[in-house]
Amino acid sequence: MNIHTRAFDHPDAVKLNDRVQLEYAERYGDEGDVTPLDATMFEPPHGLYLIAYDASDGPVATGGWRSQERNAEGYSDGDAELKRMYVIPEGRGNGLARRILAALEADARAAGRLRMVLETGDKQPEAIALYASSGYELCEKFGHYRDYENSRCYAKPLRDTTA
């Protein structure tokens, strides 16, 4: 697998975003994730968007982060928000999500972000298991879905907090 930086509006990103939206709709019975996003939110140094490709150069996984600061939606200064983590069903079980997550955390840390945050839902147990096993803990809700009962928000410090 090869992981490449791509724009959020790259054709491969759009293709995988369409697939994840269908999965959200199936799991939650709605139109998918309607969080307002645009490509500029993922431009370095204020964010990053990655796509993993298999040996045949087909896109199989995505993930990105975008900078957030304290605001009315419950973010804190220095937050890096994880968005659009997704692996196609055929590519699951190979550690791709974990590799993308580690790369995004490292990039956000290098950009000076203090904490990685994410929102997922209670009908995504695989995602919850990945984040829990990667050091993320439940936190106060934030973002577009903060008032939804099935929303789950997690955070992980990107800096050593023991010093």
Mean pLDDT, contiguous 10-residue spans, the chain (163 residues): 95 96 91 87 97 91 97 96 96 95 98 97 96 97 92 93 55
**pLDDT value of position 159:** 85
| Peptide bond preceding 45 in cis form (omega within 30 of 0) | yes
C-alpha to C-alpha distance for 20 and 9, rounded to whole angstroms = 15
Q: What pTM does this model have?
A: 0.93
Check residue 162 and give its pLDDT.
55
Which of helix, strand or coil describes residue 72? coil
**Where do the domains of the chain lie, and which CATH numbers do they carry?**
2-157 (3.40.630.30)
What is the C-alpha separation between 121 and 111, in angstroms, rounded?
28
Residue pair 85/119 in contact by the 8 Å Cβ criterion: no
The pLDDT score that the predictor gives to residue 114 is 98
